[in-house]
Structures are given as C-alpha cells and as structure tokens.
Amino acid sequence: MNQFLDQQPTHQPSNQQANQQANWELAKKLAVQTAAEQIARLKSGVAHWNQWRKAHPNIGIELLGAALSEINLSGADLSEADLRQANLSRANLGGADLVSSYLIGATLCDANLSGADLRGADLSLTHLAGADLRGADLRLANLNGADLREADLRGADLSLADLSLASLDFANLVGADLGEAILSETSLRTANVKEALFSENPGLSAHDKAYLISRGAVVPGNSQKVVANRPPNIRPETTLT
C-alpha cells in the first residue's frame, strides 16, 4: 500500500496564521468592550462625557452600530466619532460637535440636529428623514445618497457639501446656503427653496437654475426672470430629478 495515500492531510495553520487569527479575535473583543464602555459614558450625561473627552483627546470614539435612539446628546463632543450604522433616531443632538464624524448609513430620522456642527462629516447614505437641521453647519459634508426627505434645513449652511443622489423631497431649505454644493442627480423638485442660495453648483443646468428661481431661490449671476415654470425633471439632460 502506498504510504503517501495512507497519510491524512493535516492542513494545520502556520504559527503566523494562528497569531493573526488570535489578534483578530482579540481586536474584535476589545472593540466590543470599548463600544460598551463608551456607550455607558455617553448615557452618564453630556457633561461627564465632554470632560472625559477633554481629558483623553487621543482616544478614538468607536460606536459602530450603537443603539442610541432617543438619547439626549445635546452639546456633546462627538468630533471624529465612528458612528457608522448607529441608530440615533429621535436623538437630541442639538448643538453637538460632529466635525469630521463618520455617520455612514446611520439612522437619524426625526433627530434634533439643530445648530449641530457637522463640518466635513461623512453622512453618505444616512437616513435623515424628518430630521431638524435648522442652522446646522454642514460645510464640506458628504451627503451623497442621503435621505433628507421632509428634513428641516432652514438657515443651514450646506456650502461645498456633496448632495449627489440625495433626496430632499419636501425638505425645508428656506434661507439655506447651498453655495458650490454638488447637486448631481439631487432630488429637489418638491423642496421649499425660498431664499435659499445656489451659487456655482456642479450638476445644475441653466434650466434647473431657472426652475429654482421660479420657486424663490437666489441664484447670483442669473436673471431673476422666470424662463420656464416647470419641474426640472421635464428635460432629460437636467440633473435635478
């Protein structure tokens, strides 16, 4: 009998593979532990949380997928926090510091974000339907594919933000600043754009601008005469759907 055929393959992992697996399991355990500890700190109160962050500025905030619905985080320092896929529906984040935070795929439906600082935040694919964003600072924010239906964005600063593929149907943009915001395939046809500022926006056609003017928007450098009072999705070349 062939001795090689009798031998059973062991396929035992090398020491390097075993170490990598062990390190990966340890990293996952520590991540879960870190998230649990940070959630407990958040729930202990904003004042305590902000003091802790000030004392430990180099500790990353890892709240991936955290369940934080209806929590009161008004004025909380969540700058650069990882809040991807977190549930913050109906949470109070009024005046919170969310500069450069990661909120990709997070749920913020009906949340209070009035006056929040969201400069440079990644809100791509975020669910913000019905959210209160009055006076929020969203400069340079990534809102690509975000759901902003019926959101209140009165007086918000969205200059230089990326709103490509975002839905703003029935959103309130009265007095908002959308200067240089990217509006490629953005849904704006039912939004209230009265006194909202549109300037040098990539993705806006001349027809789109005329339509926005007809709805009361401010478009510097363009005639305020209404060229065509019809939705911008009438023409196939337009980007506003």
Note down pLDDT in tens along the chain; length 241 residues.
445 445 555 555 567 766 665 554 544 444 556 788 999 999 999 999 999 999 999 999 999 999 999 999 999 999 999 999 999 999 999 999 999 999 999 999 999 999 999 999 999 999 999 999 999 999 999 999 999 999 999 999 999 999 999 999 999 999 999 999 999 999 999 999 999 999 999 989 999 999 999 999 999 986 544 433 444 432 233 356 6
Alpha-carbon gap, residue 146 to 224, rounded angstroms: 30
Alpha-carbon gap, residue 167 to 149, rounded angstroms: 6
What is the pTM for the complete model shown? Answer: 0.81
Tokens of 14: 């090398």
Domains of the chain: 60-241 (2.160.20.80)
* CA neighbor of 70 nearest in space, from 95, 42, 89: 89
Tokens of 127: 């669910």
- CA 77 vs CA 7, 95, 118: distances in Å: 61, 9, 11
H/E segment holding residue 35: helix 15-43
